[in-house]
Chains A and B, each alone.
Chain A
Amino acid sequence: MKIGFYPGCSLTGSSREYNESVVALAKALDIELVEIKDWNCCGATAAHVMNEELSLSLPARIMAMAEEQGLTEVVVPCAACYNRLKVTQHELEDENKRTRVIEILKQPYKGDLKIINVLQMLEAYGAENIKTRVTHPFAHKVACYYGCLLVRPHSILKFDRVEDPQSMDILIKGIGGTTLDWAFKTECCGAGFSVSRTDLVAKLSGNILKDAADRSAEAVIVACPLCQSNLDMRRGAINKTLENPIDIPVIYITQAIGLALGIGAKELGLKRHFVTVEL
């Protein structure tokens, strides 16, 4: 199985462990990831807040590069990049916008690339292999946290339920874990405000962690580098806002499954977290 791969900037920097675990897990599941050549940043929140055409042109270049390389399907592990690519594809169905963006890029863009997130990749190409290859059942009670960008807007992403998504819960149950019913599955962690308004991130992420802790979660499972870094790297700022500090680790779905398949903690990047992971 061969599939295109867009890592995005976070996965090469502050969320290296997400990249490491995606790559290690794909290898274990016989999925070959083909990285898009000379890929650029998707523009994230900054581009669409500041300029619409820029916010469409940056993701369009990424997809144009993938098309040029002959890829038909691309997995995008970062929920923010996944969202930007899908939304751009949708917006560029408008002929005027597409013509304008192609004029800016000076590069052909068809718009027929299939963009999937990491949960969809695991569901489509890994589910059977995961079941048969579990050597270390993941016997933990966890809260699956989807955040915003993976599920909204539903009319464009058409992925899972908006209020109570299940895909990550199903994967966790498949490796022997127990998932909690909890209230903050798709609440916002503060995302792009990590640096500019750390106070608001601490408040929002604190609410999320508090609910998970109140329901005795042993870990929070995520599929987005922004969620992970806000809940993990910002834990110091979060704990300052709480009466009782919370020490629950926040790990990626790819790390949880990797552990169940017997992949080493170091190879999965579990040593790079701020909150110590002992699972």
Chain B
Amino acid sequence: MEHKNKISDLQSHTGVEVMRCYQCGKCTAGCVLASDMNYPPSYLMRLLQTGTRQNMDKVLASNSIWLCLNCENCLGRCPMEIDIPKMMDYLRTQAISQNKLHPDSKPIIAFHRSFLDSVRNTGRLYEIGLVLSYKFRTFNFLQDLAIAPSMYLKGKLHLLPEMIKDRRSMKRIFAQTIENAKTLNK
């Protein structure tokens, strides 16, 4: 009964009990990107409730978990206070570790990785570095070329990164969390 274990894994990691959802649909009604998702949030809850491995795979391979912005509107309106955003965080890490990634996840993961590289190396977000690294990850070299010069002229871009002094602490934090998890998953 591997699939049941997956649902109990989800519950033990996030505290979310999918069976508490009674399909009122308020989450879907309030979700700003429901219409762009393969499965809107209430449908996704129903897939998880069935507990089948096939449906769990559908969820992990869907674009829904990547399009979720964690705006928390679903949680705010859920009469059962089910923490769907927290569940989404868990489902995304599962999709990454099982390498079941919807194509829509690519630019989103590329952005997050580029963002975190900047934090790891400098302690802060270095916007030019972030955008360059994102362009190399996605081969989307033309994007935002039009607004970058205006941003610079308006004093919104640092040419050089701002570095924190204790950068070793960043290396340590990354090594013990996200980099550690990567080695565990391999």
Q: Residues of A at under 8 Å CB distance from B?
A: 9-10, 12-16, 38-41, 43-54, 57-58, 61, 104-107, 148, 152-155, 162-163, 186-188, 190-193, 195-198, 200, 204, 207, 233, 236, 271-274
Contact = CB atoms under 8 A, between A and B. Distances in A.
Contacts of B75: 152-153
A7 B66 CA distance: 28
8 contacts: A12-B158, A38-B165, A40-B164, A46-B111, A148-B72, A152-B73, A186-B73, A200-B33
B19 interface: no
Contacts of B44: none
Contact of A51 (B93, B147, B172): B93
Contacts, number: 160
A13 B125 contact: yes
B177 interface: yes
A155 B123 CA distance: 30
Given A104-B172, A272-B154, A148 B73 contact: yes
Interface string B60-72: 0000000101111
Interface stretch (B3-11, B21-29, B46-54, B112-120): B112-120
A162 B158 contact: no
The prevalent SS among residues of B at the interface is: helix
Q: Which 9 pairs between the two chains have the least Cβ-Cβ distance?
A: A188-B71, A9-B125, A152-B72, A46-B115, A46-B112, A196-B111, A54-B177, A148-B71, A51-B178
Contact of B127 (A13, A51, A57): A13
A226 B35 CA distance: 23
B124 A105 contact: no
Contacts of A38: 123, 164-166
A155 B162 contact: no
A43 B172 CA distance: 15
A135 B81 CA distance: 46
A191 B71 contact: yes
A105 B127 contact: no
A239 B68 CA distance: 24
B173 interface: yes
B176 interface: yes
A208 to B, nearest CB: 10
Contacts of B108: 49, 193, 196-197
B30 to A, nearest CB: 9
